[in-house]
């Protein structure tokens, strides 16, 4: 009953609102149309209205009737009491945060969840029925909310005429979100509409006319679409009246006209794809649109490939999309393949420029959309080939390569030669150093060798001394004996002379003379021995002279034997010289060959003496020196019946310092020196030996 009742009043209030004169509020009978009850200000009744002016009227889903006024007076918000006998008055109370935030009411409305919202010029109020208080949303973007609507989920949306634009409030999460110019709304300051309502179409979209054009917001996608005068929207106005009719149409009225919009039709997109044409190409400041015969054989629009020289590297392309519905809104995106990484951002720009393109192949592609954003993705392509300069062509690279190889090869050769030269120099230096070292070593060796030879000589001299002493002793004995005998003979002779026994004197004189001769003979012999010894100790002067080898052999045989005997009295051996009487004198250095003979004979005596010491029964030590004249040579054999030389030793006996004798007894140089001496005389020194039977050393000298 009441609802119908109020509905009648509602229409009545709107009519009054339109005429902008509201004098009072009353209840009318729906059937008769008569005013049943009026409410007028009454100073004596605190439950009466404070003013006759009522701008905002609302009945909530619980049946409560709410009244408000937009004016800046003390009217505030009223709720009709249940008995319809008066009103409860709500005014802001300073210091009370649960009181309404302002007395200027711009709208009263309920959202889809039956929550009552009161918009004021000083914040947004949510009414709490249980406690009869208000929750105030005080945010700069909600400071002056004047329009309201709900989305499909029943969530509230507010229009503001401050910075917020369109605002959503999530009460549960306490999130306030502004959809303002930064999100695509044409104007933040929303002063349009009627009766505090934002008009919603059948798709749930909000229609928001502004001074800059018409914004349509889809709360589901949270996006705006804009329409302008060019789209058929009426010339811009400050205020509009917008309604949605039950057949789905939207009507927007303003001082410049009326728009009748069928949202379902308006939002259909034009799906015709725009075709694209390149209208002009600029190459290094020269414009081409018609055929020029060189680069363009046909007009630019009909050309899809060109070839350019390396210096034609500054290019720009003018293009257009052929779609004539709001063609100024056609959009373009382009890309120069092989140069641009990405497509350019869609824009209304119809020219693309490139400078300083390196030589290579490029494909310029353009795609375009119509004003509804339907893209011709395939677009068009235009191939540009910028030829390289001659020095960057493949044959130029081949020539560079060949030159490089040649240079590399030359460098390699040069380096190799240099390395070889350096190495050779190094080797030569090394060899020189080595040669010097060798020379030094050789000189030192020579010195050592001559020292060794000298010491070997002194050693053999030592061995000789005993023999020589023995040899000299013999003639000296004769000399002494004969001179003593001569002394006696001369005493006898003196007596016989006094006796004048001349015959006896003559006999005695003869004996003295004979003895004198013997003294002389033995004196000479001693002299010869001393000379020989001196000769032996003297360094060889290297002068060959005809030498009696038999005498030499005889001398050294005896010297050697007596030398050994002088050292070891128990030693006895048979020794003999089997001399070839026809042996001619041979041209040799006597000291050297003498040394060879002495070495061989000493070794032979040593061998037999060692075997003697072994105490073999029936063994008779024997050393024989044999000289023989052959056809062109003479041969001296030194033969002993010692222990012989095993083959393993035989290989080494001519090597310097090889000896089997105990330390101090042998130097190991004798045979090596002998070999060298014989070789120096153009002869041969050989050995023949049988173990247990003896050895035979053979010297062959050219006769």
The residues binding ligand ADP (CB under 6 A) are: 599, 603-604, 607, 640, 642, 645, 649, 653, 658-661, 666-668, 670-672, 695
Smallest distance, ligand ADP to C-beta of residue 695, A: 4
Nearer to ligand ADP, 218 or 676 (CB): 676
Distance CA 157, CA 180 (A): 13
Q: Work out how close the CB of 603 gets to ligand ADP at its nearest, in angstroms, rounded to a whole number.
A: 3
Please identify, using beta-carbon distances, which residue of 370 and 612 lies nearer to ligand ADP: 612
- Asked if residues 146 and 119 have their Cβ atoms less than 8 Å apart, the reply is yes
Provide, rounded to whole angstroms, the least separation between the CB of residue 555 and ligand ADP: 19
CB 421 within 8 A of CB 429: no
Please say which residue, 10 or 654, places its beta carbon nearer to ligand ADP. Answer: 654
Radius of gyration of the chain (CA): 75
What is the distance between the alpha carbons of residues 362 and 285, in angstroms, rounded to a whole number?
19
Q: What's the half-sphere exposure (Cβ side, CA atoms, 13 Å) at 507?
A: 6
Looking at the Cβ atoms of 155 and 640, the one nearer to ligand ADP is 640
Cα dihedral sign for 337, 340, 346, 349? Answer: negative
CB 471, min distance to ligand ADP, A? 23
Minimum CB distance to ligand ADP, residue 541 (Å): 24
Q: How far is the CB of 609 from ligand ADP (least distance, A)?
A: 11
Distance CA 375, CA 370 (A): 7
Q: Provide the minimum distance between the beta carbon of 563 and ligand ADP in the complex, in angstroms, as a whole number.
A: 14
User: Smaller CB distance to ligand ADP: residue 7 or 691?
Assistant: 691
**C-beta closer to ligand ADP: residue 184 or 668:** 668
How far apart, in whole angstroms, are the C-alpha atoms of residue 439 and residue 639?
A: 41
Nearer to ligand ADP, 119 or 621 (CB): 621
Look up residue 53 and give its two tokens.
């002016």
Q: How many CB atoms lie within 10 A of CB 523?
A: 16
**Tokens linked to 644:** 């012989």
> Are 600 and 608 spatial neighbours (Cβ–Cβ below 8 Å)?
no
Smallest gap, in angstroms, from Cβ of residue 648 to ligand ADP?
A: 11
Minimum Å distance from CB 517 to ligand ADP? 41
> C-beta of 683: minimal distance to ligand ADP in Å?
17
Is 245 within 8 Å of 223 (Cβ atoms)? no
Q: Which is nearer to ligand ADP, 496 or 640 (CB)?
A: 640
Q: Which long-range contacts (CB under 8 A, 24 or more apart) does 169-173 make?
A: 169/124, 169/137, 169/142, 171/115, 171/126
In DSSP notation, 264-284 reads HHHT----PPPEEEEEEEEET
Taking the C-alpha atoms of residue 232 and residue 635, their distance in angstroms, rounded to an integer, is 149
- In the complex with ligand ADP, which residue's Cβ is closer, 111 or 696? 696
Give the distance from CA 463 to its chain's centroid.
82
* 240 closest CA partner among 147, 149, 168: 147
DSSP 553: H
> Between residues 333 and 599, which has the closer beta carbon with respect to ligand ADP?
599
């Amino acid at each position: 009953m009441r609802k119908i009742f109020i509905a009648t009043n509602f229409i009545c209030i709107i009519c009054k609102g339109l005429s902008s004169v509201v004098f009072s509020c009353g209840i009318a009978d729906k059937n008769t149309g008569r005013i049943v009850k009026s409410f007028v200000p009454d100073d004596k009744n605190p439950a009466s209205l404070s003013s006759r002016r009522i701008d905002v009227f609302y009945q909530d889903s619980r049946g409560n009737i709410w009244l408000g006024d937009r004016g800046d007076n003390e009217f505030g918000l009223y709720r009709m009491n249940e008995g319809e006998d008066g009103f409860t008055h709500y005014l802001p109370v300073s210091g009370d945060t649960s009181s309404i935030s302002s007395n200027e009411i711009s709208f009263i409305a309920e959202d889809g969840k039956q929550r009552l919202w009161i918009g004021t010029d000083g914040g947004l109020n949510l009414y709490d029925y249980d406690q009869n208080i208000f929750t105030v949303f005080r945010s700069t973007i909600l400071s002056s909310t004047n329009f309201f609507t709900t989305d499909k989920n029943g969530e509230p949306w507010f229009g503001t005429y401050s910075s917020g634009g369109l605002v959503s409030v999530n009460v549960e999460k306490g999130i306030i979100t502004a959809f303002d110019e930064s999100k695509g709304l044409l104007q933040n300051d929303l002063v349009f509409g009627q009766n505090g309502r934002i008009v919603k179409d059948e798709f749930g979209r909000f229609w928001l006319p502004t001074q800059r054009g018409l914004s349509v917001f889809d709360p589901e996608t949270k996006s705006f679409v804009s329409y302008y005068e060019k789209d058929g929207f009426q010339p811009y106005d400050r205020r509009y009246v917008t309604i949605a009719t039950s057949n789905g149409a939207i009507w927007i009225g303003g001082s410049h006209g009326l728009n009748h919009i069928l949202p379902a039709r308006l939002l259909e997109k034009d799906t015709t794809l725009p075709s694209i044409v390149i209208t002009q190409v600029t190459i290094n400041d020269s414009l081409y649109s018609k055929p020029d015969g060189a680069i363009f054989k046909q007009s630019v629009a009909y050309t899809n490939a060109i070839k350019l020289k390396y210096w034609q590297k500054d290019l720009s392309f003018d293009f257009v999309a052929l779609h004539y519905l709001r063609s100024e809104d056609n959009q373009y995106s382009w890309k120069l393949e092989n140069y641009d990484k990405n497509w350019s951002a869609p824009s209304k720009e119809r020219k693309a420029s490139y400078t300083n393109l390196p030589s290579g192949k490029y494909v310029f592609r353009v795609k375009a959309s119509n004003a509804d954003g339907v893209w011709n993705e395939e677009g068009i392509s235009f191939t540009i080939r910028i030829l390289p300069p001659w020095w960057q062509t493949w044959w130029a690279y081949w020539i560079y390569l060949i030159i490089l190889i040649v240079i590399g090869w030359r460098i390699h050769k040069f380096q190799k030669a240099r390395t070889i030269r350096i190495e050779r120099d190094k080797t030569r230096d090394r060899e020189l150093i080595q040669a010097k070292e060798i020379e030094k070593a050789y000189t030192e060796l020579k010195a050592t060798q001559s020292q060794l030879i000298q010491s070997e000589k002194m050693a053999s001299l030592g061995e000789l001394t005993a023999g020589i002493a023995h040899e000299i002793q013999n003639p000296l004995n004769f000399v002494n004996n004969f001179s003593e005998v001569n002394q006696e003979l001369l005493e006898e002779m003196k007596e016989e002379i006094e006796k004048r026994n001349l015959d006896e004197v003559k006999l005695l004189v003869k004996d003295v003379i004979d003895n004198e001769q013997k003294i002389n003979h033995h004196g000479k012999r001693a002299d010869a021995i001393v000379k020989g010894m001196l000769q032996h100790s003297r360094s060889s002067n290297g002068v060959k002279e005809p030498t009696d080898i038999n005498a030499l052999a005889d001398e050294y045989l005896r010297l050697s034997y007596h030398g050994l005997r002088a050292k070891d009295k128990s030693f006895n051996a048979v020794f003999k010289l089997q001399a070839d009487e026809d042996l001619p004198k041979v041209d040799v250095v006597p000291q050297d060959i003498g040394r060879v003979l002495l070495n061989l004979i000493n070794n032979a005596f040593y061998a037999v003496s060692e075997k003697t010491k072994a105490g073999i029964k029936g063994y008779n030590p024997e050393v024989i020196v044999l000289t023989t004249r052959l056809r062109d040579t003479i041969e001296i054999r030194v033969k002993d019946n010692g222990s012989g030389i095993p083959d393993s030793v035989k290989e080494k006996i001519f090597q310097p310092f090889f000896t089997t004798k105990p330390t101090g007894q042998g130097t190991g140089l004798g045979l090596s020196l002998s070999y060298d001496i014989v070789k120096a005389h153009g002869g041969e020194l050989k050995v023949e030996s049988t173990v247990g039977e003896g050895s035979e050393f053979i010297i062959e000298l050219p006769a």
